[in-house]
């Protein structure tokens, strides 16, 4: 089995996408502890928080305190979501490594999430880019609801191309296609990737899936088959957008690393360390997280015969 990709780069988004929709506001210290652990587990990219309005996402109001408390490591890129100039100023004050601006492929979700039109978002990004360029900080662009919108249904591939072209014109090297409410399916993923690659061949594509309908990892296989090596995932499989109905968890980092290990695709991430992080997060959040490998263990985990009763009932 050869999917063409031998090595992937994963961005862990647990303390951002993961915690933004949790009822419990996770303490700053716990966030810092988890991020330091993620660095030790081997992540090269960590989307640690968002510099958004604390009224919109109170769970992430401590973004500045979090990054100031983290042991910065030059080999790890710390990125954060930024919706506007105010967010960019806050992010730059903390010397983050990359700004991630975001908008939605659908007008309805952009209005719900950002209180403005797609055009207004794009116009606003110009001042973010100018400030980032003046400070030599790269900017990356996300497209939420890229594979379907919970209010409008299917998203036209040409809309993804149109926004990606504008991102390219703003100087971005890459685009993340975000499946905010888990509406992506293998044929949609394949067609979206091809449409962007055919029209803008030199733009890196990152895939950000949610496992809302159980096909998250199947979508990753399609991505690998199309040569995509950049993915985003979340420890414990938590996550979701508070401004989209029925949004549920991201694809789970441990499950993803487990699959990559079994496929001999390098991630640079220690799965045992990652499972421990997911278990710590489970303890912090106080409910059973949806991740599967964190509970089942790896495939060759050996059980004792005594652990299971026989069919005779003894
Ligand atoms: N950081 C901190 N505060 C911010 C901010 C930022 N980046 N942007 C705006 N604010 C503050 C303003 O100062 C203002 O505060 P005030 O009421 O005390 O005066 C308030 O937020 C509203 O500002 P306004 O510019 O009118 O924004 P808005 O109400 O139209 O909201 C966004 C627009 C983009 C700021 C808001 O919708 C948002 O942060 N959305 C993020 C959504 C998100 O992260 N979704 C999950 C990821 S997909
Ligand atoms: Zn997401």
Answer whether residue 138 shows pLDDT above 70. yes
**Cβ contact 48:10 at 8 Å:** no
Asked, for residue 312, whether it belongs to a domain, the answer is no
pLDDT of residue 311: 84
How many domains are there within the chain? 1
Which residue of 51, 52, 53, 102 sits with most ligand 1 atoms within 8 Å of its CB, as the best mutation to test the pocket?
Answer: 53
Q: Tell me, what's the pLDDT at 306?
A: 87
Catalytic-labelled residue, pool 94, 234, 241, 252: 241
Interacting residues of 132 by C-beta distance below 8 A, sequence separation 6+: 88, 92, 99, 138, 139
Task: Report the alpha-carbon distance of residue 251 to residue 215 in Å, rounded.
Answer: 9
pLDDT of res. 314: 65
Q: Work out the average pLDDT over 216-244.
A: 97
Residue-level pLDDT at 219: 98
Ligand nearest 240 Cα, by number? 2
* Range with lowest mean pLDDT among 95-99, 179-183, 300-304: 300-304
Lowest mean pLDDT across 36-45, 140-149, 294-303: 294-303
Taking 90 as the threshold, does the pLDDT of residue 5 lie above it? yes
Q: What is the span of the domain harbouring residue 209?
A: 9-307
Structure tokens at 241: 């957008």
Q: Tell me the C-alpha distance between 205 and 230, whole Å.
A: 7
SS3 175: strand
Nearest residue by C-alpha to atom 15 in ligand 1: 53
Tell me how far apart the alpha carbons of residues 182 and 150 are, in angstroms, rounded to a whole number.
Answer: 10
For 109-117, what is the mean pLDDT?
97
Among the bound ligands, name the one nearest to the CA of residue 207. 2
Nearest to 100 by CA among 174, 181, 44, 35: 174
In a domain, 105, yes or no: yes
- Dig out the tokens for 146 from the structure: 């890229």
Span from the CA of 52 to the centroid of ligand 1 (angstroms):
6
Q: Give the residues surrounding ligand 1 with Cβ less than 6 Å away.
A: 20, 50-57, 81, 83-84, 86-87, 90, 102, 113-115, 144, 241, 243
Average pLDDT across the chain, whole number: 96
**Within a domain: 269:** yes
List, for residues 238-297, the tens digit of each pLDDT value: 999 999 998 999 999 999 999 999 999 999 999 999 999 999 999 999 999 999 999 999
Q: What CATH number has the domain bearing residue 110?
A: 3.20.20.70
> Is residue 1 included in any domain, yes or no?
no
> 105 CB contacts (<8 Å, ≥6 apart)?
118, 143, 144, 145, 146, 149, 155, 159, 160, 163
Confirm whether 153 is domain-assigned. yes
**Residue 2 in domain:** no
Contact indicator for 281, 20 with CB cutoff of 8 Å: no
Residue 184 domain flag: yes
**Is residue 4 in a domain?**
no
Q: Which atom of ligand 1 is nearest to the CA of 82?
A: 7
């Amino acid at each position: 089995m050869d999917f063409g990709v031998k090595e992937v780069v994963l961005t862990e988004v647990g303390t951002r996408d993961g915690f933004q929709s949790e009822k419990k506001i996770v303490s700053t210290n716990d966030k810092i502890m988890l991020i330091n652990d993620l660095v030790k587990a081997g992540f090269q990219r960590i989307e640690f928080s968002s510099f958004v309005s604390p009224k919109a996402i109170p769970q992430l109001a401590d973004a500045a305190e979090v990054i100031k408390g983290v042991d910065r490591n030059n080999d790890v890129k710390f990125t954060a979501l930024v919706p506007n100039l105010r967010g960019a100023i806050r992010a730059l004050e903390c010397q983050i490594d990359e700004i991630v601006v975001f908008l939605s492929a659908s007008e309805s979700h952009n209005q719900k999430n950002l209180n403005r039109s797609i055009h207004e978002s794009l116009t606003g990004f110009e001042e973010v880019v100018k400030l980032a360029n003046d400070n030599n900080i790269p900017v990356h662009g996300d497209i939420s609801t890229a594979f379907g919108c919970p209010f409008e249904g299917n998203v036209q591939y040409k809309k993804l191309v149109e926004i990606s072209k504008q991102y390219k014109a703003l100087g971005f090297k890459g685009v993340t296609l975000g499946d905010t409410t888990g509406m992506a399916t293998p044929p949609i993923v394949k067609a979206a990737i091809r449409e962007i690659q055919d029209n803008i061949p030199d733009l890196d594509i990152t895939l950000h899936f949610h496992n809302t309908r159980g096909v998250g990892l199947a979508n990753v296989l399609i991505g690998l088959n199309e040569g995509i090596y950049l993915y985003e995932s979340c420890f414990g499989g938590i996550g979701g957008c508070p401004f989209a109905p029925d949004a549920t968890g991201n694809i789970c980092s441990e499950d993803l690393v487990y699959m990559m290990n079994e496929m001999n695709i390098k991630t640079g991430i220690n799965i045992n360390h990652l499972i421990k992080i997911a278990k710590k997060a489970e303890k912090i959040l106080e409910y059973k997280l949806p991740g599967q490998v964190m509970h089942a263990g790896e495939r060759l985990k050996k059980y004792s015969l005594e652990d299971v009763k026989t069919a005779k009932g003894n």
